[in-house]
Structure 1
Amino acid sequence: MGGLAKMKTLLVVVIGLLIPIVAGTKHVSIKNMLGSGRNMSLHCQSKDNDLGKQNIADGNEFGWDFSDNVIGTTLFFCDLGWQNVQEFHFNAYSFARDRVRCGDAGCSWLVSVEGIYGLNGQTGFWEFMYQWPN
């Protein structure tokens, strides 16, 4: 087998190994649990997709579906603001952090007056992930 044929075979094997890792649709949701009727502004995006600015009423949520890219670098980040926090930047989905942590349930976030909690799909417990700046 020539060098080019070996290279093609190797590429097919590598792609075959990667597809199960990144295949499938993921879901991210961010719920406003600030209470007392407080609305929050939210603007989420990736390198390729801008989900637009959202105004999320107290008790409501915003979510979206996507698929991981083949090279495993998918990242969605958000800017969030509300009465006491003018702008807070956080990663709503990072392939490296969330591929396993979020699991099949998807990545769920709760925004509260204390900070942001993320659901650990492996344990089923909410974890305190981000604290508001002083």
Structure 2
Amino acid sequence: MHASALIFGNALVIVLILSFCTSVHSDDVHASIKNRLGNGKNITLHCQSKDDDLGEQNVGDGSEFGWDFSVNVWGSTLFYCDMGWDDVPQFHFDAYSFDRDFARCDTQCSWLVAGEGMYGLNGQTGFWEFAYHWSS
């Protein structure tokens, strides 16, 4: 009887761990960066994570660049980008950081680049929130 209780206890722990991992690991997330600078201004964009380099992209005015990824079970997924154009030659930001974006982005993590700064879409509220101001 004692051995069966131990086996049951171990099985319960395994089930709890697996359910935790499943709750941390989400389905695919789609990240996108929309160029809304206007006046025909293109953005040079280079995004990457520790494991994936998405290469340098040229995002035309009115266009966007996006990619899909899965959040890892450790909750440490991070995609960061460097971008620039005539007015802002270099800007670095985190396009997806698990700590900041797991609840806010859920399955869609969208950014909008505008003349005054950058906005992030809050998936919980449906509103674009001002996130970064270009330094002058």
TM-score strictly above 0.5: yes
Q: CA deviation at 1:21?
A: 2.5
1:47 maps onto 2:50 in alignment: yes
Q: What letter is aligned with 1:10?
A: V
**5+ residue gaps, structure 1:** none
Number of aligned pairs? 132
Q: What letter is aligned with 1:87?
A: Q
Give the counterpart of 1:56 among 33, 39, 59: 59
The 3-state SS of whatever aligns with 1:85 is coil
Q: How does 1:1-134 map to 2 (within 5 A)?
A: 1=3, 10-104=13-107, 106-134=108-136
Normalised to the residue count of structure 2, the TM-score between the two structures is 0.89
**5+ residue gaps, structure 2:** none
Identity of aligned residues (%): 57
Instruction: Could you list the structure 1 runs, at least 4 aligned residues long, displaced by more than 2 angstroms after superposition.
Output: 5-13
User: Aligned-pair RMSD on alpha carbons?
Assistant: 1.9
Aligned mates of 1:23, 1:131 — CA distance in 2 = 30
Q: CA deviation at 1:11?
A: 4.7
Aligned mates of 1:37, 1:25 — CA distance in 2 = 32
Larger Rg belongs to: 2
Aligned mates of 1:103, 1:70 — CA distance in 2 = 15
The 3-state SS of whatever aligns with 1:116 is strand
Q: What letter is aligned with 1:33?
A: R
Q: CA deviation at 1:16?
A: 2.4
